[in-house]
Structure formats: structure tokens, C-alpha cells
């Protein structure tokens, strides 16, 4: 014998951090729970779909905020394409809908389950691969569809055997509507909504936010040039000449792959869309009060009504919330397990309306049990028609941890 196996003994290969092997009982628990949830969805008319684990990176980046895109597993495949492991199912399901179901009338319902991948910061209990099971309801608008998704999440958790959970509901669309009267640009409104969690928890103050808005150019006062409204609306050469004249020196340096015209056009757009500082402050003051309201749906809506009245704002957008609460009651969902939270914001930035999160007193801090919401702009953003849609997913690994 020449070289025995001992001589060539290799070093061990270990499992990656944030990944788990599942065997035996825990595996049974996970597959059992997923199957029960899937059976319920099937009964409710949700068709099964499985989508590729790997997709073009573009699909996941198109409408997601930084919190998800920075955690993508992205690689260049041997053919030179930039691809990513799916961090969630929703964009893939929507892509399928656009590719295969375009023009289909009426709502389409999908259910799915499988592994998703997110490169979470290294730490105890941070899964980088976990199992999501969820549903998407495409082509349905209104409070009734919202209630359907919520009640299925509710029933689903019960079918799995989880007790003692609650559902926290918010609505980004209602907040958008309520601050719609302040004459803010879309960027200005998004700025407020994206800071709502920080406002609610007191991590920031209104004056800090106003300063920040000025720094990032959302306020007219923060811009180096001011153009009165009439001038800003003139897209003709005279305005451009004027601006190029004012900014002559800066604009004389190389502009890279952008033309001076493109730069001036964008500057004009920025000036046009920038908000009056007073308007942003008023909107922030309203959101500051609203964001702190959470509680049983009826009581929370009443409190929000009082706040709106004190600001002299039409409270009719709250009717959507009342309609949802009524619908949920009719479906037999106990009010006591629902929290209406005006300061709720979910990480993924494609949500446009109702959003929700499942919560449980025994869940580990930071361990999401699941959630979802309405994302009416997503189908269009991914290249389809303007179709309303919503969905949710449960994080099965964390959900089954709650089972005895």
C-alpha cells in the first residue's frame, strides 16, 4: 500500500453559519405544520405554486428597500448573469402572474412554501435560510380582500396549533391619504412614512427630521438655488440658460456620462417637488401624534378621529379601517387579539396599504413569525398591468418553535 487514507485525511467541512440541518422530530414538526397550513389554503381556493430558488437579481431589487436588497445572496452565474437566491416568494409569484396569467379576469390566488435566503448579521438565532409558507391574492382591491388575507393568516396559525398570538395591523395607504392634503411631493410623503417607526419609538425628534429633510434636499430652504414656482415650471431654454449661467463654474467641470441638460432637468424637478418647510412640519406633527396610537381597532380609530379633528383634517380615510375591523368581526376574529397600530411600518418598501404582523409573547425578540400586506404598485413595477395585490407569509421555523 502506498498512501493510506489516514495519510490523506482531509480537514472537516462544516455547515455554514446561519444554516441548519433538520432531522427527526423537529423536521416532522416543520413539515407537518407546513402541510396543515397548505391544506387550509387549498380549501380556501389558493392554488399551489413553486418558483425557482434562483432568479435574476433585478426581480428582487426593483421595488424592495435597502433593508432587503443589502441582505441578498447575489452571485454571478457561470453564464455571466447576476442572480440572487430568493429572499421571499412574492416577486417570483408576481413575475409568474405577469408571464402566465396576464389578462386573466378576476382575482388569482396562490399558495407556496419553501426555503428563502437572507444574509442576516451573524449572531445567535439569526437564520440565513428559513422556510416561508404564504399566500398571494392578486387582482383584489378593498377592505374585503384585506380581511380575507388577515383571516386566513389567523386560521392558518390556528390550524398549525399556535395559540395566544396576536395580529398587529397598520395601514400605510391611510397615512399617505391623511398627509395628502399638505402638498408634499411623493418623496416627501415617503420620507415621513419611512421614519414612522423612529417617530413612534422616540428615536428621533421632529426637528431632527426636518433638518434631515433639508439636508437631503426635500425642502426648498435646503436647496442652494431657489426658483419661484412660475420659473420652475418653465421647461424652456430660458430657464435652462439662466440656471447654467448661475451655476456656470460648477457646470464647467466634466459631467461624466450625464449631459448638462440632464443635470439641470433633474435640478429643476427637485426644486419643483421640494416641499415648503412649514408643510412638512405640519405633516410631521400630525404623524407624530398618530404614530403613537395603538390598541383595539374601535378605540384606536376613535382616538385617531379626535387627533384628525384637532388638526382640521377630513377623517374619511379612517372608514377603510372601520370597514376592515367590521369585516374581521363578521369572520369571527376576536377583537381582543387585534391591535390597530397607526405607527406600524414593515421593512419591505413595496407595501402601499394594509400591513400586518403576527406577534406572540413567547416569541424571541427579533424573531418574526410572519406578516404581509397590500402592495398595489408591485405588479406594475415588475412590468405588468396596474393590478392590486396583497399577500403574506409565515416564518415557519419561528412559528413551530411556539408549538409545545
Partner 1 sequence: MLRLAIPSDGALSDPAQAFLKACGLSVSRPNPRKYTADIPSVPGVVVHFQRGSDIAMKVEEGSADMGIVGHDTFVEKGREGGDAEVVIDQLGFGHSELVLGVPDSWVDVTSLSDLADLSMEFRQQGRDLRIATKYPRVVERFLLSNGVNYISLVPSSGTLEAAPVMGYADIIADISSTGTTMSANRLKTVHGGTIMKSEACLIINKPLIIASEAKLSQATAIVERIEAHRQSLEYYSVTANMRGESPEDVARFVLEQAYISGLRGPTISRVFTRDGAGMYAVTVIVEKNKLLQAVEQFRKIGGSSVTVSQPHYVFHSECKAARRLRANRQ
Other CB atoms within 10 A of residue 142 CB: 15
The piece of 258-266, 314-322, 328-336, 394-402 that touches partner 1 (CB under 8 A) is 258-266
The piece of 35-43, 87-95, 259-267, 279-287 that touches partner 1 (CB under 8 A) is 259-267
Size of site (CB under 8 A) for partner 1: 32
Residue 224 within binding range of partner 1, rule CB under 8 A:
yes
Residue 208 within binding range of partner 1, rule CB under 8 A:
no
Residue 61 within binding range of partner 1, rule CB under 8 A:
yes
Residue 215 within binding range of partner 1, rule CB under 8 A:
yes
Among 50, 67, 241, 261, the residue binding partner 1 under the rule CB under 8 A is 67
Among 254, 312, 332, 361, the residue binding partner 1 under the rule CB under 8 A is 254
Of 299, 334, 277, 314, nearest to 150 by C-alpha is 334
Q: Where are the beta strands (DSSP E) in 222-374?
A: 294-295, 338-341, 354-359, 370-374
Q: Compute the distance between CA of residue 296 and CA of residue 144 in angstroms, rounded to an integer.
A: 19
Among 5, 10, 105, 253, the residue binding partner 1 under the rule CB under 8 A is 253
Residue 250 within binding range of partner 1, rule CB under 8 A:
yes
What's the closest the beta carbon of residue 266 comes to partner 1, in angstroms? 4
Q: Is 11 exposed, middle or buried (0-12, 13-18, 19+ CB in 10 A)?
A: exposed
Cell digits for 387?
393590478
What's the closest the beta carbon of residue 267 comes to partner 1, in angstroms? 4
What's the closest the beta carbon of residue 103 comes to partner 1, in angstroms? 25
Among 221, 263, 337, 367, the residue binding partner 1 under the rule CB under 8 A is 263
Residue 80 within binding range of partner 1, rule CB under 8 A:
no
Among 257, 336, 361, 404, the residue binding partner 1 under the rule CB under 8 A is 257
Residue 274 within binding range of partner 1, rule CB under 8 A:
no
Among 81, 158, 208, 258, the residue binding partner 1 under the rule CB under 8 A is 258
352 half-sphere exposure, CB direction, 13 A CA radius: 15
Kindly state the greatest CA–CA separation across the chain. Answer: 92
Residue 69 within binding range of partner 1, rule CB under 8 A:
yes
Strand partners, 47: 110
Asked if residues 133 and 393 have their Cβ atoms less than 8 Å apart, the reply is: yes
DSSP annotation of 332: T
Q: Compute the distance between CA of residue 190 and CA of residue 121 in angstroms, rounded to an integer.
A: 26
What's the closest the beta carbon of residue 298 comes to partner 1, in angstroms? 37
19 half-sphere exposure, CB direction, 13 A CA radius: 8
Residue 70 within binding range of partner 1, rule CB under 8 A:
yes
Among 142, 181, 260, 277, the residue binding partner 1 under the rule CB under 8 A is 260
Q: Compute the distance between CA of residue 38 and CA of residue 152 in angstroms, rounded to an integer.
A: 11
Q: Is 387 exposed, middle or buried (0-12, 13-18, 19+ CB in 10 A)?
A: buried
Residue 252 within binding range of partner 1, rule CB under 8 A:
yes
Cell digits for 313?
383634517
Residue 216 within binding range of partner 1, rule CB under 8 A:
yes
Among 152, 267, 325, 387, the residue binding partner 1 under the rule CB under 8 A is 267
Q: Compute the distance between CA of residue 33 and CA of residue 36 in angstroms, rounded to an integer.
A: 5
Q: Which CB atom, from 256 or from 332, has the smaller least distance to partner 1?
A: 256
Among 30, 33, 41, 72, the residue binding partner 1 under the rule CB under 8 A is 72
Other CB atoms within 10 A of residue 377 CB: 16
Q: Is 106 exposed, middle or buried (0-12, 13-18, 19+ CB in 10 A)?
A: exposed
Q: Which CB atom, from 251 or from 315, has the smaller least distance to partner 1?
A: 251
What's the closest the beta carbon of residue 348 comes to partner 1, in angstroms? 12
Q: Which CB atom, from 252 or from 310, has the smaller least distance to partner 1?
A: 252
Task: State which of positions 115-174 bind partner 1 (CB under 8 A).
Answer: 122
Q: Which CB atom, from 192 or from 402, has the smaller least distance to partner 1?
A: 192
Task: State which of positions 228-247 bind partner 1 (CB under 8 A).
Answer: 247
Cell digits for 21?
440541518
Sign of the alpha-carbon torsion through 273, 277, 283, 288: positive
Rounded to 5 degrees, what angle do the CA atoms 181, 187, 192 make?
A: 70
Task: Give the residues lining the site for partner 1 (CB under 8 A).
Answer: 17, 61-62, 64-67, 69-70, 72, 122, 187, 215-217, 224, 247, 250-258, 260, 263-264, 266-267, 270
Amino acid at each position: 500500500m502506498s498512501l493510506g487514507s489516514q495519510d490523506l485525511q482531509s480537514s472537516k467541512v462544516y455547515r455554514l453559519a446561519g444554516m441548519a440541518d433538520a432531522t427527526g422530530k423537529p423536521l416532522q414538526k416543520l413539515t407537518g405544520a407546513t402541510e396543515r397550513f397548505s391544506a387550509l389554503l387549498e380549501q380556501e381556493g389558493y392554488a399551489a405554486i413553486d418558483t425557482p430558488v434562483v432568479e435574476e437579481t433585478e426581480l428582487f431589487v426593483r421595488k424592495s428597500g435597502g433593508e432587503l436588497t443589502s441582505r441578498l445572496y447575489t452571485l454571478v452565474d457561470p453564464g455571466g448573469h447576476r442572480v440572487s437566491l430568493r429572499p421571499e416568494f412574492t416577486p417570483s409569484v408576481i413575475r409568474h402572474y405577469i408571464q402566465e396569467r396576464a389578462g386573466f379576469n378576476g382575482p388569482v390566488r396562490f399558495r407556496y412554501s419553501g426555503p428563502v435566503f437572507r444574509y442576516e448579521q451573524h449572531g445567535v438565532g439569526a437564520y440565513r435560510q428559513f422556510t416561508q409558507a404564504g399566500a398571494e391574492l392578486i387582482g383584489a382591491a378593498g377592505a374585503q380582500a384585506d380581511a380575507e388575507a388577515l383571516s386566513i393568516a389567523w386560521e392558518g396559525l390556528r390550524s398549525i396549533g399556535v395559540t395566544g398570538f396576536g395580529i398587529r395591523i397598520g395601514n400605510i395607504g391611510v397615512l399617505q391619504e391623511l398627509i395628502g392634503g399638505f402638498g408634499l411631493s411623493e418623496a416627501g410623503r415617503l420620507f415621513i412614512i419611512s421614519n414612522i417607526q423612529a417617530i413612534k419609538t422616540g428615536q428621533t425628534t421632529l426637528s431632527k427630521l426636518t433638518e434631515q429633510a433639508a439636508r437631503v434636499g426635500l425642502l426648498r430652504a435646503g436647496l442652494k438655488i431657489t426658483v419661484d414656482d412660475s420659473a420652475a415650471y418653465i421647461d424652456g431654454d430660458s430657464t435652462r440658460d439662466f440656471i447654467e449661467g448661475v451655476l456656470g463654474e460648477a457646470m464647467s467641470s466634466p459631467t461624466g456620462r450625464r449631459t448638462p441638460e440632464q443635470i439641470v432637468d433633474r435640478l429643476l424637478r427637485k426644486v419643483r417637488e421640494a416641499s415648503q418647510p412649514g408643510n412638512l412640519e405640519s405633516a410631521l406633527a400630525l404623524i407624530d401624534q398618530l404614530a403613537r396610537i395603538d390598541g383595539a381597532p374601535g378605540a384606536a380609530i376613535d382616538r385617531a378621529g379626535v387627533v384628525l379633528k384637532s388638526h382640521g383634517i377630513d377623517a374619511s380615510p379612517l372608514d377603510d379601517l372601520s370597514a376592515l375591523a367590521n369585516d374581521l368581526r363578521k369572520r369571527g376574529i376576536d377583537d381582543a387579539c387585534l391591535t390597530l397600530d397607526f405607527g406600524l411600518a414593515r421593512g419591505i418598501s413595496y407595501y402601499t396599504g394594509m400591513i400586518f404582523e403576527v406577534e406572540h409573547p413567547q416569541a424571541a425578540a427579533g424573531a418574526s413569525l410572519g406578516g404581509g400586506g397590500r402592495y398595489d404598485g408591485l405588479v406594475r413595477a415588475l412590468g405588468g398591468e396596474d393590478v392590486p395585490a396583497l399577500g403574506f407569509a409565515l416564518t415557519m421555523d419561528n412559528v413551530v418553535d411556539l408549538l409545545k
